[in-house]
Amino acid sequence: MKFAWKILVDNSLWSNFFTAKYIRNKHVSLVDSHKGTRFWKSVIQCIPDVLWLTKWRIKEGKVSFWRDWWFDEGPLVQLQLILERPNLMIKECRLEAGWDTQLVRSLVGDGKVEQVMQVLNKCRQGADLLVWSENADGKFSSKSAWECIRIKAPKNRWSDWVWHPCMPKKFSVTMWKAIRNGLSVDDRIKNVGIPVVSKCNCCTDGGYEDLEHVLVDG
């Protein structure tokens, strides 16, 4: 997701190269994610997630009127059909004395024109700013992106005491292996098809070396 974010905000040689090669004059959400190199496919497939977690603060107006998220309720393309001017930029709705209210009305209808104009009237001078909604400062971070996309499993009750900070890491790893049946006892070696005569070396009379014997009975 980091590279997808850079495509949207960076003006570097790297982002300009990929923009000119694959995006060109289209909106980034319309780029075919099945074309290009393997690296580019992995980048463009992250674009929908990045767009969903970002919002534009309009100033100069060099963003898509329909497809970028600058309106409070979401991208306008998801709220109504595009009947005309699908490639319209927000700056094209600006007149010398203000905003072209009639044009906005013809695009979004009477029901939404007031809401749209309220957002447009808040615009200030400067460059448009893309805000990452998952951080309070609005800046992208790989950590917050990972928290958004990763699949979280239910928390295990034993994890707090197995990985307790006061516990030596060697003990924690051994306990974790025991829970996951990963200790290399004779019984596990036998179960994978390796013939072995099992005898516990820690016992005076010997014994079959399995997990229960090593940790409980032995």
Whole-angstrom distance, CA of residue 205 vs CA of residue 209: 12
Answer yes or no: do 81 and 116 share one domain: yes
Tell me which residue range forms the domain holding 11. 1-53+137-152
pLDDT tier, 95 (very low <50, low <70, confident <90, very high otherwise) = confident
Q: ∠ at Cα 95 (93, 97), nearest 5°? A: 140
Task: Give the single-character DSSP code of 55.
Answer: E
Answer yes or no: do 15 and 25 share one domain: yes
Answer yes or no: do 98 and 5 share one domain: no
| Structural domains of the chain, count | 3
Count the residues in the chain. Answer: 218
Q: What is the pLDDT of residue 205?
A: 75
Answer yes or no: do 45 and 63 share one domain: no
pLDDT tier, 197 (very low <50, low <70, confident <90, very high otherwise) = confident
pLDDT tier, 82 (very low <50, low <70, confident <90, very high otherwise) = confident
Find the Cα–Cα–Cα–Cα dihedral 158, 161, 164, 168, rounded to 10°: -100
Please determine, for residue 131, whether its predicted confidence score (pLDDT) is greater than 90. Answer: yes
Answer yes or no: do 110 and 63 share one domain: yes
**Cβ neighbours of residue 79 closer than 8 Å, sequence gap 6 or more:** 71, 73, 112
Please determine, for residue 85, whether its predicted confidence score (pLDDT) is greater than 80. Answer: yes
Answer yes or no: do 61 and 164 share one domain: no
Answer yes or no: do 72 and 117 share one domain: yes
Q: What is the pLDDT of residue 42?
A: 92
Answer yes or no: do 40 and 73 share one domain: no
Q: What is the pLDDT of residue 25?
A: 87
Determine how many CB atoms are found less than 10 A away from the CB of residue 116. 22
Which phi and psi angles does 172 have, rounded to 5°?
A: -60, -45
pLDDT tier, 159 (very low <50, low <70, confident <90, very high otherwise) = confident
Task: Give the single-character DSSP code of 60.
Answer: S
Identify the three-state secondary structure at position 129: strand
Q: What is the pLDDT of residue 149?
A: 85
Answer yes or no: do 94 and 116 share one domain: yes
Answer yes or no: do 170 and 69 share one domain: no
Answer yes or no: do 91 and 128 share one domain: yes
The more confidently predicted of residues 201 and 114 is: 114
Rg (alpha carbons) of the chain, rounded to whole number: 29
The more confidently predicted of residues 191 and 140 is: 140
Answer yes or no: do 126 and 141 share one domain: no
Burial of 90 (0-12, 13-18, 19+ CB in 10 A): buried
Say if CB 141 and CB 50 are below 8 A apart: no
Mean pLDDT of the chain: 88
Q: What is the pLDDT of residue 154?
A: 83
Whole-angstrom distance, CA of residue 71 vs CA of residue 13: 30
Q: Determine what percent of the chain is predicted with pLDDT higher than 70.
A: 100
Q: What is the pLDDT of residue 65?
A: 94
Q: What is the pLDDT of residue 213?
A: 81
Whole-angstrom distance, CA of residue 16 vs CA of residue 24: 10
Please determine, for residue 218, whether its predicted confidence score (pLDDT) is greater than 80. Answer: no
pTM of the model: 0.66
Give the tens place of pLDDT for each residue, 40-70: 999 999 999 999 999 999 988 899 999 999 9
